[in-house]
Amino acid sequence: MRNRQVFVVLAFIVALAASCGTAKRVPAGADTPGELSRKLGLPVTGRDNLHLYTEAANWLGVKYTYGGNTRRGVDCSGLALQIYAEVYGKKLKRSSADMLKYNCRKVSRGKLREGDLVFFRTGRGKKNIPNHVGIYLKNQHFIHASASRGVIVSDLNDPYYLRGWITGGRVK
């Protein structure tokens, strides 16, 4: 009988520990999925990474500043590295080209997952070297810092982004 009680207690502790490991960390004061859906223009549910969506929503509207990485002004790679540090605790390289080269393994558009990076070539330069990066959210939408509009959510299917698409990147 004693062995059975010990087994039941151990099974309960293991189950409790395993369930704690699967919970997603959500910051205090986080918006509800409905509020995040409204702010981001995407359907956000409790199954999504609410920490990512909350952090993304907190950056919306921040003005574009070349070389910036604060809420007073940010560029595309600064936004990606700040969100990644806050949400995933990972340090990314500072430029979009270096993020792709050193921090990611390539992922096709059809295999993108929430939190993957998306890389583009906008303007002139070598075709396969990115000069723009964003973070994939869901439903073909990503958050990024636009030079003309600040931090916004855009659609990967927009002709501008289709033309400039290079690859997705899953952070190692």
Task: Identify the DSSP state of 103.
Answer: I
Q: Which of 20, 51, 141, 144 is catalytic?
A: 144
Tokens of 109: 């558009």
Q: What is the CATH number of the domain that holds 160?
A: 3.90.1720.10
Instruction: Report the Cα 133 to chain-centroid distance in Å.
Output: 11
The residue from 20, 76, 104, 141 that is catalytic is 76
* Residue 146 phi, psi dihedral angles, 5° rounding: -85, 135
Low-confidence ranges of the chain (pLDDT < 50): 4-24
Q: Which two tokens stand for residue 114?
A: 């929430």
Confidence at residue 91, expressed as pLDDT on a 0 to 100 scale: 97
Joined together, the tokens standing for residue 171 give: 């952070």
Q: Strands, DSSP E only, in the chain? A: 69-70, 73-74, 104-107, 117-120, 132-138, 141-146, 150-155, 165-171
Q: Which stretches of 2-149 are assigned E, i.e. beta strand?
A: 69-70, 73-74, 104-107, 117-120, 132-138, 141-146
Torsion, CA 133, CA 141, CA 55, CA 62, rounded to 10? 60
Amino acid 126: pLDDT: 80
**Domain count within the chain:** 1
Query: Given 20, 51, 104, 132, which residue is catalytic?
Result: 132
**Residue 104 is a catalytic residue:** no
51 counts as catalytic: no
CA dihedral 78, 83, 88, 93 (to 10 degrees): -10
How confident is the model at residue 22, as a pLDDT? 37
Q: Write down the pLDDT at residue 13.
A: 38
pTM of the predicted model as reported, rounded to 2 decimal places: 0.83
Domain that holds residue 163: 2-171
Please answer whether residues 122 and 152 qualify as being in contact, where contact means their C-beta atoms are separated by less than 8 angstroms.
no
pLDDT of residue 12: 38
